[in-house]
Amino acid sequence: MSIHGILGEQTTDYPTQYSPETLYPIARSLGRDAIGWQDDKLAVGVDWWQAFEMSWLNKQGVSQVAIARFGIPASSPFIVESKSLKLYLNSINFTEFASWDEVQALIAKDLSACVQAQVTVELFRLDDETSGLHIAQPDGVCIDDALVNSSEKVTLCAHPDASLLRDEAEARGESVISDSTQPYRFYSNLLRSNCPVTNQPDWGTLAVSITTEQPIHTANMLRYILSFRQHNGFHEQCVEQIFADLSQHYQPRALMVRAWYTRRGGIDINPCRVSDMSLLPTPSRLIRQ
């Protein structure tokens, strides 16, 4: 997948006046058609965007700063390209507003128009202890050392390879996630893919909560996650690919897949897909964010 035009250029003119036209929508169907799975099952969840370079002017002309969180429903027909969002947010740096509520309402209106769905917008003061932006830790078992006792060298894959989830690992005596409670919870800090616009690497932490009768082989799961390392895909599409692959392989009774991607341009993107909205966790922030 590739996106061409001004968004992929090395130099960009940053607007200094309010410019909602800079927001650039990208159809979710581009990624979902490539996955080739049930679109309706990929449309359950939320993409949380967290912006740490949020600023505007009050009526005195004094700069105001905040941390912003945008919630884009997975059912929206479009996502917003991240560089265009940065340009848009920069465009209000020198715009005067009477109140924080006015800023919040304007951004919600513009983002909702861009993605053609209702976007939630929250603005937090830097000392707001209720924002959920303190440093959190993923739930479950970290699987990053699952291959430490293996002599096999992991090869680079051009694209994600769901066949790596097959159960050959059991014959090799590799570890299985075992937990007396359901669902199983595990995470990896080794998720990496490439931006389809700039081809720059995107790093993230992936977390999975799954209820299934099939065994989860940690080495297989880690191999599968590593197969994304050279894949060109937006954050949301990578999470949806993983959600689809785990759904098809494990036939889970319940599934939650979420990722916290590291920040670029002051913005981090945190997609989450669930088999049922009752499984949706609260947004949070990790140490690399």
Q: Could you list the active site residues?
A: 195, 202
- Give the count of beta carbons closer than 10 Å to the beta carbon of residue 15: 16
Cβ neighbours of 72 (radius 10 Å): 25
Q: Which residues pair with 96 in a beta bridge?
A: 57
How far, in Å, CA of 192 to CA of 173, rounded? 27
- Residue 47 in contact with residue 71, Cβ under 8 Å? yes
Q: Are 197 and 81 in contact (CB under 8 A)?
A: yes
Contact 50, 264 (CB under 8 A): no
